[in-house]
Each structure stands twice: as structure tokens, then as C-alpha cells.
Structure 1
Amino acid sequence: MSEPGGRRVQDLERNADAALEVHRDDAMAMVSGTLGLLEEACAEAAPDAGPRVYQLASSIVDLAGFFDTGPLFEAAYSLCDISDRMIQTEAWHWPSVQVHAQALRLILAGGCRTGVTSGALLAGLKSIAQCR
């Protein structure tokens, strides 16, 4: 880069993004698997599952953060936020977690695209987060 005629930062960034994009399908499959574990946790509704829910949501945030997943990242981050607050206050509310899991599944099935549907889902999650 420092040599005359070297690569520009924009070119390096574009090449890095293209190399990362090759792994998108595998990463989204991992997100789907993690989401399946979250759905299982919701079905069990164990009273001590709060840290597990946070860990699963955090894993989704970690994977989604490498790609342009817009609403998926936002929904998973919202779940991290509400689960952390529920753990701290010891006031667990499984329906809030279930709604987040369903929203995540719908956003993932929709290709993580930003649009009217994902906007409505994120607005609903925001209202849940404000109530918690």
C-alpha cells in the first residue's frame, strides 16, 4: 500500500468483502442452527436458561456482524439486550424471547433483507424491549 502504484484501501476492502462473502451460506446455516437451539430453549422454558439464551443470541450477533444482515443483526442484538436485562433483574419473560426467536426466523427466511416486513418486525421487537 505504501509503494507508488500500490493498492488503494477501497480495492483492498472490496477484495476482503468478496473473500468473506464466499462464506455467507455457511455462516447463515450456522445462524439457523443456533436459532434452532434458541427455539429449543424457548420450548423448554427452563427457569435457569437466561444465560444460555444470552449466549445463543450473542453467537448470532457475532456471525451476523460479519455480513450485511441488517435486520437479523438488529433483532439478535435486541434479544441480547432484553435477555441481559432480564438476567440482571431476575425477571424472566419467555414470551419476549419467543417473539424474538420467531422474528429472527422470519428475517432469516426472508434473506435478511431490509423492507416493510423486517421493519415491522423490528418495530415490534423495539416495543417489547421498551416494556422490559
Structure 2
Amino acid sequence: MNEVRTYKIKSPLAKQLREPGGRTVQDATRMAGEKLEQHRDGVMATIADALDELDRVAADAAPDAGPQVYRLASSIIDLGGFFDTGPLHEAAYSLCDVADRMIGADVWHWPSVRVHLQAMRLIMAGGCRPGRTSDVLLEGLRSVSQRPLAT
């Protein structure tokens, strides 16, 4: 009968992890935040492009453009999710909700889309900071999104 042997292999990584030094979690988090912040202007420009495209879609008012409105609004949420866009996120989420309800009911109300679009532009112009103006805009969007759909 053969005897079972167990070998412990020490990898270079295991050795490095036991040595003192390196970065703390706080340092790594800070550095990642700094790197991410370098992309803020580019992301905000991409969000502005999405708003421009949403403006063109709303101007055309095509009866089958609902999924496109939803896609654009959700892309604003996705892009802004890397940064603190506060009220912009809420406005885009509200538009997604409105678009989803309209698609489901097969009833389209373009003024609701345009109101959301203008609110998002105003929020962007204010630096996406919460405040009295954004609170009023979001309250208006809540009333628009709670509006019953006419059939």
C-alpha cells in the first residue's frame, strides 16, 4: 500500500500577501474615485448627446418610438450611475417608468416625454445638484408620471 503525501506549495502571491506594506482599502478606493472622476466630463457629454437624441425622437413623435425612448432614458441612468447625478437619475427613472406604462398600454403621450426632457436639461444645467429647483422639477415629474393614461 502506498503512503499518501501532502505537499504545501507556497505561491509568490501568498508570500506577498503576508508581507507588510501595499495599499490600504481607503487608498485604493480614493485612487479609483480619482480615476473615475477623470471621465465625468465625457460621461456628461454622452448624457447630453442622449438628451439630444431623445429630443429628435420626441420631435418626430413616431407611434412606434416607445422602446427607443425607454432605451435612451435607461442609458442616462446607466451612464449617470457612476457619478452622483441625484435628481437627473430620478428624472430619467421617472421617464423610464412613464415610457414603460405607455408601451404597455399602447398609448403614447408625447408632452409627458417632452416635460421629462426639459426637466433633465434644467437639472443638467444646474450641475445635477439637488436643491429647491430640482425638487420642484421632480415634484412636477411625479405628477406627470401619476397621470392616468387616456385610451
Q: Is the counterpart of residue 36 in structure 1 residue 52 in structure 2?
A: yes
Q: How much does 1:6 deviate?
A: 4.1
Look up the match of 2:37.
Answer: 21
TM-score in terms of structure 1 length:
0.93
Percent sequence identity is 63
Look up the match of 1:11.
Answer: 27
Distance 1:50 1:120 in 2: 26
Q: How much does 1:85 deviate?
A: 1.1
Deviations 1:66-118 (A, max 9, x none): 11111111111111111011101112111111100000111111111111001
Root-mean-square deviation (CA, aligned residues, Å) is: 1.6
Q: Is the counterpart of residue 63 in structure 1 residue 79 in structure 2?
A: yes
Which is higher, the Rg of structure 1 or of structure 2? 2
Distance 1:121 1:33 in 2: 21
Look up the match of 1:85.
Answer: 101
Distance 1:115 1:74 in 2: 13
Deviations 1:12-42 (A, max 9, x none): 2221111100000010000001100001111
Any unmatched runs of 5+ in structure 2? 1-16
Distance 1:13 1:112 in 2: 23
Q: How much does 1:9 deviate?
A: 2.6
Poorly superposed stretches of 4+, deviation over 6 Å: none
Stretch deviating more after TM superposition (72-81 or 4-13): 4-13
Q: Is the counterpart of residue 49 in structure 1 residue 65 in structure 2?
A: yes
Count residues in correspondence.
132
Q: Which has the higher contact order (CA 8 A, sep 6+)?
A: 1
Any unmatched runs of 5+ in structure 1? none
Deviations 1:42-84 (A, max 9, x none): 1111111100100111111111111111111111111111101
Q: Is the counterpart of residue 104 in structure 1 residue 120 in structure 2?
A: yes
Distance 2:46 2:34 in 1: 20
TM-score in terms of structure 2 length:
0.82
**Structure showing the higher helix proportion among its residues:** 1
